[in-house]
Chain A
Amino acid sequence: MSAVPAARPAEDAAAEGGEDRSDGSAGRLAGYNLGYLDENTKRMIRRTLLKAVAIPGHQVPFGSREMPLPYGWGTGGIQVTAAVIGPEDRLKVIDQGADDTTNAVSIRRFFARVAGVATTERTREASIIQTRHRIPETPLREGQIIVYQVPMPEPLFRLEPRVAETRRMHALADYGLMHVKLYEDIARHGQVAISYNYPVMVNGRYLMAPSPIPSFDNPKMDRMPALQLFGAGREKRIYAVPPYTAVKSLDFEDHPFQPVRAPAACALCGSQESYLDEVVTDDRGGRIFVCSDTDYCHTRQAAQPREAAE
């Protein structure tokens, strides 16, 4: 039986070449390269990203690595972020719109540890925002990057589970089936029954899964000034929407797309526009609604005179 190495042998790092393996002195995790991934892997991911940006909405396969977080917990987003992050970046991580949900905390800590990068909770201050399930309420601007964690990159998977077949459908832009699904919903329910991960058409060519954001967030993707990157680790796909690209939610002319939002105001900041979480306050049907975007809500609360918030 071989001895258990106490730490990574230094020669390993040297062999990879050109790496900035930390000795742990800068507060970064010892024995790992900046951003955790080795430089060759980052190069591979960046090449994939370039291809993805060049073909908006097209899923590009990539050699997704095992990450120290489980598949399905954001490994795709983490790899994309790790490939584009640098020491001068300022990272914001949200899950369900909030900076302080456990998974967001865990991912933010991971990057603070392996990239020694500055973090923030302010949408405005972030240069990279990694997100699960939301787009911030504060409009993103040029120069920012939003990285979506994607569990299922294939928008057609519920209609056609065979990946070889869906790839063909994308190649031929053969999306009639998706519209048939919308037609069936309207025939049965009077409306499209999709409320999140609502399929979009990117640049008039590729059908794309926006990741499980609420359909409320879909309009924010259209002609967004920021670069949108999508990483699906387990499914090993990356795709992208370059700045100012048309992103259209599928619909019919006489049944236009309608984003879903609870018809209420935030109990904390009073916002009538933001996407709301429902909070059950007792077991007798009592409930209030609060902003799911915590930074947005805090900013609004801070801007209000004290009494108004009470």
Chain B
Amino acid sequence: MSPPLLEARGLSLRYGAVPALDDVALSIWPGEVVAIVGESGSGKTTLLRVLSGLLRPEAGTVLYRAPAGATHAVHDMGEAALRRLQRTDWGFVHQNPRDGLRLGISAGGNIGERLMATGARHYGTIRGAATEWLKRVEIDPARIDGLPRTFSGGMQQRLQIARTLVTHPRLVFMDEPTGGLDVSVQARLLDLIRALVADLGLSVLLVTHDIAAARLLAHRMLVMRQGRVVEEGLTDRVLDDPQHEYTQLLVASVLAA
């Protein structure tokens, strides 16, 4: 088997007395979707931020294998190299699209930004890519010059996904991409994400509250509680035959609800 794309070991981080991360290990392989589930405050967002280099852990390492084969210790890279990684190989989809979009810039400009940041200098090509991606995320291309603040919540989230995927990253971090949306919109968005992931062969680390979303998208899942990974395995196995009593509770409460 090929080596993992991203590999974390022994991650720990405390906020005062709160162990946000407690000796967490995790690996993700190319083309794999891994869901991270757990109750509110269990450390999911913190883990995502540490893995993507936005936050420095107190202990532990995160290794990333670049396409060329070189391996980088994410927290030892210089800021310039890390930023380059973040806008080329990686993508980050925020729970609140307002954190991931430039609200004062047109939809086309939002999608084009990563292209331009990585050297694209042909207006027609950039605009073509933006049009293409609007279609792909089911936004009317006629809205290309519209400002995101005139878009609905679901459209904003789809725009954020287009903006992130336009440079074909290999690894995407998603923090509750369907949070804050109503149920029918959530379902459509999940379908869209599933199709894009399959098309592009992306690796995705998906943080979610939503067990159904995890079942739909993820090959594997991790269950977190109080900063620890309490259970880990293939999605179907974890959901159908939970070993840890907390996972049992989680699955049962979803089924009951």
Contacts and interface: CB of A to CB of B under 8 A. Distances in A.
Interface of A: 171-177, 179-180, 183-184, 186-188, 251-255
B113 A180 contact: yes
Contacts of A187: 106, 108-109, 127, 144-145
Name the 9 nearest CB pairs between A and B, nearest first. A176-B117, A179-B116, A252-B123, A253-B122, A176-B116, A172-B80, A180-B109, A254-B124, A184-B109
Nearest to A184: B109
Given A180-B105, A187-B106, A253 B114 contact: no
B122 A252 contact: yes
Given A174-B83, A180-B102, 7 more contacts: A175-B117, A180-B113, A183-B109, A187-B109, A252-B123, A254-B122, A254-B123
B117 A174 contact: yes
B102 to A, nearest CB: 8
Nearest to B87: A176
Contacts, number: 54
Contact of B79 (A172, A180, A186): A172
Contacts of B124: 254
Size class of B's contact patch?
20 to 34
Interface of B: 79-80, 83, 87, 102, 105-106, 108-109, 112-114, 116-118, 121-124, 126-127, 144-145
Contact of B123 (A173, A176, A177, A186): A186
B80 to A, nearest CB: 5
30 contacts: A172-B79, A172-B83, A174-B83, A175-B117, A176-B87, A176-B113, A176-B114, A176-B116, A176-B117, A176-B118, A179-B116, A179-B117, A180-B109, A180-B112, A180-B116, A183-B108, A183-B109, A183-B112, A183-B116, A184-B105, A187-B106, A187-B108, A187-B109, A187-B127, A187-B144, A252-B126, A253-B122, A254-B122, A254-B123, A254-B124
Nearest to B118: A176
Contacts of A253: 121-123
B126 A183 contact: yes
A251 B144 CA distance: 21
Contacts of A174: 83, 117
Given A174-B117, A176-B113, A177-B113, A183 B79 contact: no
A175 B117 CA distance: 7
Contacts of B102: 180
A252 B112 CA distance: 13
A171 B198 CA distance: 37
Contacts of A184: 105-106, 109
Nearest to B114: A176
B46 to A, nearest CB: 24
A291 B126 CA distance: 39
Contacts of A171: 79-80
Nearest to A186: B123
Contacts of B123: 183, 186, 252-255
Nearest to A251: B121
A186 B144 CA distance: 13
Contacts of A179: 116-117, 121
Contacts of A251: 121
Contacts of B112: 180, 183
A9 B165 CA distance: 70
Nearest to B107: A187
A253 B125 CA distance: 10
A183 B126 CA distance: 9
A198 to B, nearest CB: 16
Contacts of B144: 187
Contacts of A172: 79-80, 83
A252 B121 contact: yes
A184 B112 CA distance: 10
Contacts of A183: 108-109, 112, 116, 123, 126
A80 to B, nearest CB: 30
Contacts of B116: 176, 179-180, 183
